[in-house]
């Protein structure tokens, strides 16, 4: 960990941990509210509200100017597109498969895709740890897609969760590329969320049903202010003082919270195959997130140094 004092590191751990807990409530809150609103409309409203608040709190003119740096434009556009895809597909997955399985599928997919992106961009061979984690994730998703898995919903929900996780993995790569070009990520992330909300906003006119109901307004308020604005602020406050492995391990709290809330408060009871698939997905996430043993005589791996296979990176 990179910090000057133990208190600073402890504060960073608490910030990232609380952010992961907040993000873990997204799926359960959506199901508990049971608003009847379309998931895409909910995602658009969440991104618009969270993006506006984040921009007001964190974006400064100097940070916005860094978005015009050479080579940053295409990565910023990509981050907007995958932010929109993540929000839309994740909320769809929650509606179709339940909070626990949707979160397990999405965040079990993240390290697989982020690892592939890191290697495509920087070269190098896959590590044994990443291969084992990827194998667990693929096997877990295969179990979930089997007929009679006992999952609450159809295959479409699992696929939506996989697309959400893939979008998140690409977002991690795009964020790292923006940072390598000197872009202020404190400006890039809120701009990405807000622009993604604007991109999806036409759906608010296509399917506005249920959005004005009190429960929907409360849900959008929580998703936009609690899980997006507050979660992002806490995460960015702590992540800069922690190494990637620690951040990845702390981010395991997110699917854990979603699973506990889904089972205890929402009555979600996956069947044996679905439970085994979810466990394999989480096992893969654990494998790629835990610190790797350092060899005394080994030279540093430039690919591993660039890769951040964590579930949390500012876009819950």
Under 8 Å CB-to-CB from 17, ≥6 apart: which residues? 250, 253
Count of CB atoms within 10 A of residue 89's CB?
26
Question: Per the structure block, which two tokens stand in for 184?
Answer: 């202020």
Inter-helix orientation angle 231-239/39-58, to 10°: 50
pLDDT in tens, 212-227: 999 999 999 999 999 9
pLDDT in tens, 124-177: 677 788 888 888 888 887 787 776 555 554 678 889 999 998 998 898 888 888
- pLDDT tens digit at each of 316 positions of the chain: 444 444 578 888 888 889 889 999 999 999 999 999 999 999 999 999 999 998 998 889 999 999 999 999 999 999 999 999 998 899 999 988 888 888 888 888 887 887 788 788 877 677 788 888 888 888 887 787 776 555 554 678 889 999 998 998 898 888 888 988 999 888 888 999 999 999 999 999 999 999 999 999 999 999 999 999 998 888 877 776 776 666 666 777 888 888 888 888 888 777 787 778 878 887 887 787 666 655 444 444 434 444 444 444 455 5
E strand or H helix at 144: helix 128-145
Residue 299: what pLDDT? 40
- 280 burial level (CB within 10 Å; 0-12, 13-18, 19+): buried
Delimit the domains of the chain by residue range. Answer: 8-290
93 contacts 43 by C-beta, under 8 angstroms? no
123 contacts 282 by C-beta, under 8 angstroms? no
Q: What percent of the chain stands above pLDDT 90?
A: 36
d(CA 246, CA 88) in angstroms, rounded, equals 29
Q: What does R_g of the chain's alpha carbons equal in angstroms? A: 19
d(CA 58, CA 38) in angstroms, rounded, equals 30
d(CA 43, CA 60) in angstroms, rounded, equals 26
Question: For 178-232, what is the HEC assignment?
Answer: HHHCCCCHHHHHHHHHHHHHHHHCCHHHHCCCCCCCHHHHHHHHHHHHHHHHHHH
Closest by CA to 215, choosing from 203, 223, 227, 226, is: 223
d(CA 266, CA 32) in angstroms, rounded, equals 7
């Amino acid at each position: 960990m990179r910090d000057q004092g133990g208190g600073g590191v402890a504060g960073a751990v608490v910030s990232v941990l609380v952010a992961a807990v907040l993000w873990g409530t997204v799926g359960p809150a959506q199901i508990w509210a049971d608003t009847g609103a379309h998931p895409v409309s909910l995602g658009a409203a969440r991104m618009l509200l969270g993006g506006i608040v984040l921009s007001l709190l964190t974006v400064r003119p100097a940070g916005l100017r860094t978005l015009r740096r050479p080579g940053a434009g295409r990565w910023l556009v990509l981050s907007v597109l995958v932010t929109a895809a993540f929000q839309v597909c994740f909320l769809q997955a929650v509606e179709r498969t339940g909070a626990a399985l949707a979160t397990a599928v999405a965040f079990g997919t993240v390290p697989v895709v982020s690892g592939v992106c890191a290697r495509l961009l920087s070269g190098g061979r896959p590590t044994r740890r990443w291969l084992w984690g990827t194998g667990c994730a693929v096997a877990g998703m295969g179990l979930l897609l089997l007929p009679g898995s006992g999952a609450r919903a159809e295959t479409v929900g699992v696929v939506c969760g996989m697309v959400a996780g893939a979008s998140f993995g690409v977002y991690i790569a795009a964020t790292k590329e923006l940072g390598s070009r000197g872009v202020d990520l404190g400006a890039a992330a809120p701009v990405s969320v807000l622009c993604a909300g604007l991109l999806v906003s036409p759906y608010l006119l296509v399917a506005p049903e249920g959005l004005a109901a009190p429960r929907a307004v409360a849900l959008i308020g929580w998703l936009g202010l609690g899980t997006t604005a507050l979660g992002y602020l806490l995460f960015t406050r702590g992540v800069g003082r922690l190494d990637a492995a620690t951040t990845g391990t702390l981010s395991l709290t997110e699917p854990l919270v979603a699973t506990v809330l889904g089972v205890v408060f929402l009555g979600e009871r996956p069947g044996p195959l679905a439970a085994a698939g979810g466990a394999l997905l989480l096992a893969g996430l654990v494998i790629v997130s835990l610190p790797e043993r350092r060899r005394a005589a080994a030279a540093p791996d430039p690919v591993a140094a660039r890769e951040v296979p964590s579930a949390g990176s500012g876009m819950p």
